[in-house]
Amino acid sequence: MAPYSGSIRPDVLELAPGHARVAIADRRALRNPFASVHAAALANLGELTSGLAVWTLMPPALRGIITSLVVRFGKKARGRLVAEARVTLPTVTAPCDHEVLAVIRDADGDVVAEVAVVWRLDLRP
């Protein structure tokens, strides 16, 4: 559904209602000049993970689109990275914004980034 997300070569580890875990490998194509995974790749991973968690709960009567994405970096991202997002959707009767947090950790379990994604949820016309 989102060809751009394929650029990071994501590996979906877990996908269940309201939950997604997605990994990426640290590879040269994703690196920045500081020998770590590029900020845009981390944002891509967080957005994808949040989206998968949201879409597992999205009933046919709803639609959603991202209106905001904020990335907070904790440390340089190196090695295999795993993002995780858990979400519950609100009852939607009118357009509303709902934030989903995707946390990205390295192999040591340290948080390298948090991606806060705001989804605008609305009823389909």
Write down the pTM of the prediction. Answer: 0.93
Whether the per-residue pLDDT at 4 is higher than 90: the answer is no
Q: What is the helix (H) or strand (E) element at residue 39, kind and residue range? A: helix 39-55
| Beta-carbon-side half-sphere exposure of residue 68 (alpha carbons within 13 Å) | 10
For residue 83 the two structure tokens come to 């993002």
φ/ψ of residue 4, rounded to 5: -60, -35
pLDDT digits (tens, 9 = 90+) for 44-89: 999 999 999 999 999 999 999 999 999 999 999 999 999 999 999 9
Domain boundaries, the chain: 3-123
Distances (CA, A) of 122 to 41, 86, 114: 28, 20, 25
Task: Identify the residue whose tokens are 């875990």.
Answer: 21
Q: Give the homologous superfamily in CATH for domain 3-123.
A: Hotdog Thioesterase (3.10.129.10)
